[in-house]
Amino acid sequence: MKAVLFDFGGVLTEPMGPMFAAIAATAGADPAELASLLVGAYDGDDHPLHRLERGELTFTELCRWAGDEGRRRGWQLDLGPMIDHLEVIGLRQPVLDRVADLRRRGYRTAVVTNNFKEITALWRARVDIDRLFDTVVDSCQVGVRKPDAAIYRLTLERLGGMAAEEAVLLDDFEANLAGARAIGMHGVFVGTDTGAALAELERLLDENP
């Protein structure tokens, strides 16, 4: 194994669920129904959130769409506070420490994230990107999002053109991991137990020297 790829939200940060729960409570919406509206078919192409993450829509346009859809359901849905939540969401220091350790051990490291333009500067300011990562692949900048295989291949190319089998992805969405595994990469699911995920990462690295 030569490279370790990390998602940003929910992997380098604490889980994103509380942010959506807070927005749902303010809107008067059921959290599961709100998540279904906002995410759609996760591996689809035409959903507004997916278009936002590919840089095809602005966050203002997404907020307008969400407000209209919310009103049809009797909600007062305002996505504007998402940016406030993202500004203060906790970072997972054990994961960041492990990234630094991996680089010291000679592994190549990358962030590969589904994100939108309006928060790019915000999240980059919170993490020492240049010290921790060899490259950052941001969906809104490259026009493709996880779980599309193209974003993983682009990341591998930027890391020196290594084979998919030589890399592992840590992510909090199973669909993203499935997309990575489909091209031969390894995958580690990151949930609430960060320690378990990091232990699984080390097991894979030991088994695939």
Q: Which of 69, 87, 105 is the C-terminal boundary of a domain?
A: 87
- Cα 118 from Cα 179, distance rounded (Å): 26
Q: Which of 47, 62, 87 is the C-terminal boundary of a domain?
A: 87
Range 6-11 average pLDDT: 95
* Structure token digits, residue 126: 């919170």
Instruction: State whether 129 and 150 are in the same domain.
Output: yes
Range 17-45 average pLDDT: 85
Q: How many CB atoms lie within 10 A of CB 172?
A: 20
Report whether pLDDT(40) > 80. Answer: no
Range 81-106 average pLDDT: 93
Q: CATH code at 152?
A: 3.40.50.1000
Predicted local distance difference test score (pLDDT) of residue 88: 85
Predicted local distance difference test score (pLDDT) of residue 206: 94
- Cα 141 from Cα 149, distance rounded (Å): 16
What single letter denotes the amino acid at residue 206? D
pTM: 0.93
Q: Which of 14-18, 107-111, 174-178, 204-208 has the lowest mean pLDDT?
A: 14-18
Instruction: State whether 117 and 162 are in the same domain.
Output: yes
Domain that holds residue 58: 17-87
